[in-house]
Amino acid sequence: MRYEGVVFDLDHTLFDRYATLKALSADFCEMFKDCIAPETTAEMMGEQLCDSDRKHIYYGWSRVFADLCEKGVFCTAPTYERYREALLTLFQKYAVPFSFTYSVLDELRSRGLKLGLITNGNGQIQARKLELLKLTDAFDYALLCGKFGVQKPDRAPFDHMVEVLGIPAEKLLFVGDNPVCDVDASRNAGYTPVEILTTDCKMPEIDSAKLQLKTVKELPALIDLLQKSPV
């Protein structure tokens, strides 16, 4: 059996969330200038946004926010709702791809593989991210769960992707970083998961994928091996 398609997650997989958080940090500080501690520079804020995200993101934005507040970057902590809305606004202005994002997608397509995307979140915001990343037309089918009406880890988005691509789940790789929404969910839907180890947030209660990569840059070489001897 040869794999015929690759379906991707977006954030932490093709979208460099940490480079993006650093890029938006100056605007973030301006939006919270009434709350920011005097010694907190935009560069410091960017580093702390990344650190909190890296350690806690799989347990939700509220956990990330709580950790950020404990770092002392605020003299008066804003509400979680204000923090969340600020980031959602800024993610419609800033989006940075990984340096290898385009070359990997081009390489996979040149091999005749179909490409898909399944991403959680607000549909409008994720669509804007794809526009900023210049990835709007990069996939045979991009499923924005916010518009689809059902979010990962529900099986429905994965089953719908199978129908649209016309490829059985067992012939699809799913590439993503989240242990619950990407690894476990795609595995339960019959895909072969490839876990991208982008963050330091661990979820020991979820079985890791057998296939793990540090970044998507390593994916073409992995597929070469799998096509010779699929897992």
Phi, psi of 140 (to 5 degrees): -65, -35
Please name the residue that has the structure tokens 């099986």.
155
Per-residue model confidence as pLDDT tens digits over 96-115: 999 999 999 999 999 999 99
Per-residue model confidence as pLDDT tens digits over 174-192: 999 999 999 999 999 999 9
In the chain, what are the domain boundaries? 5-16+97-228, 17-90
Is the pLDDT at 230 greater than 50, yes or no? no
Peptide bond before residue 193 is cis, with ω within 30 degrees of 0: no
pLDDT value for 114: 98
CATH says 5-16+97-228 is which class? alpha beta
Is the pLDDT at 221 greater than 50, yes or no? yes
**Nearest C-alpha neighbor of 74 from the set 44, 38, 47:** 38
Peptide bond before residue 153 is cis, with ω within 30 degrees of 0: yes
pTM (2 d.p.): 0.94
Burial 57-66, CB ≥16 within 10 A → b, else e: bbeebebbbe
* 116 DSSP β-pair partners: 7, 141
* 59 DSSP β-pair partners: none
* 119 DSSP β-pair partners: 144
Per-residue model confidence as pLDDT tens digits over 15-43: 999 999 999 999 999 999 999 999 999 99
Per-residue model confidence as pLDDT tens digits over 41-92: 999 999 999 999 999 999 999 999 999 999 999 999 999 999 999 999 999 9
Per-residue model confidence as pLDDT tens digits over 124-161: 999 999 999 999 999 999 999 999 999 999 999 999 99
Per-residue model confidence as pLDDT tens digits over 156-175: 999 999 999 999 999 999 99
**Nearest C-alpha neighbor of 193 from the set 206, 205, 203, 179:** 179
Contact 217, 197 (CB under 8 A): no
Q: CA 38 to CA 130: how far, in whole Å? A: 35
Contact 27, 93 (CB under 8 A): yes
At position 53, the amino acid (one-letter code) is D
- Rounded to 10 degrees, the C-alpha dihedral 97/99/101/105 comes to 150
For the chain, the average pLDDT equals 96
